Structure 1
Amino acid sequence: MVSLDTIFDLLSDERRRYALYYLYERDGPVPIEELVETIADWEDDPPEDDSWEKFDEIVVDLQHTHLPKTAEVEFIQYHRDRGVVQVQGAPPKFDAFMTVARLLEQPEDG
């Protein structure tokens, strides 16, 4: 069972929250590139001209920091070799916090 400390730790970083929001709403594995594009859109309002540099920064940050951290819980699977990640079988406690956080933050609205 996932603890509240673990949930709060997962939600403590904005970029990781954005990744989790997107993954949480998808069924099945999500390609890292798709996840990065969404995060880049949500972080940049309006989008910057130097979007490739931003894209690369997000890829590195996700692959080396945020996705390995999220994969520490049993309901998030990160398959680095296949370049996909997914949320599957999240406990109700996590569902509740994700729903509330997503509603409060509304990243796609800028």
Structure 2
Amino acid sequence: MVSLDTIFELLSDERRRYALYYLYEKDGPVPIEELVGTIADWEDDPPEEDSWEKFDEIVVDLQHTHLPKTAEVEFIQYRRDQEVIQVQGSPPKFDAFVTIAKLLEQPENNGPS
């Protein structure tokens, strides 16, 4: 069972929240490249000139910090060798917090139109 402290820790970083929001919407494994593209769009308002540099920075940050952190809970599976991640079988408590946080933050309204 996931504790509230764990949920709040997972949601404490904006980039990790964005990853969780996107993963939560998807059924099945999500390629890291797809996840990074979405996060870059949500973070980038207005879009930067050198988006490849931003893309690479997000990849490194996710792979070395945020994805391993999220995979500490049993309902998030990160397969680094296959470069995919998914949320599966999340508890209702987690679902409620992610849903509310996304409604409040609305990251999809941050990116380019």
Report the TM-score when normalising by structure 1. 0.99
- 1:100 shift after superposition: 0.3
Letter in 2 for 1:44: D
Q: 5+ unaligned residues in a row in structure 1: which ranges?
A: none
Partner of 2:95: 95
Q: Distance in 2 between matches of 1:55 and 1:28?
A: 23
The answer for the alignment partner of 2:20 in structure 1 is 20
Instruction: Percent identity, please.
Output: 87
- CA shift at 1:20, angstroms? 0.2
Give, as a single letter, the amino acid of the residue that structure 2 aligns with 1:93: K
- Structure 2 unaligned spans of 5+: none
Structure 1 residue runs of 4 or more that deviate by more than 6 Å after TM superposition:
none
Aligned residues: 110
Q: CA RMSD in A?
A: 0.3
Secondary structure of the 1:60 match is helix
- Residues 22-70 of structure 1 show CA distances to partners (whole Å, capped at 9, x for unaligned) of 0000000000000000000000011101000000000000000000000
Deviation per CA, 1:61-80: give whole Å up to 9, x if none: 00000000000000000000
2:40 — aligned with what?
Answer: 40
In the other structure, the counterpart of 1:80 is 80
Report the equivalent of 2:60.
60
Equivalent residue letter for 1:25: E
Aligned residue number for residue 105 of structure 1? 105
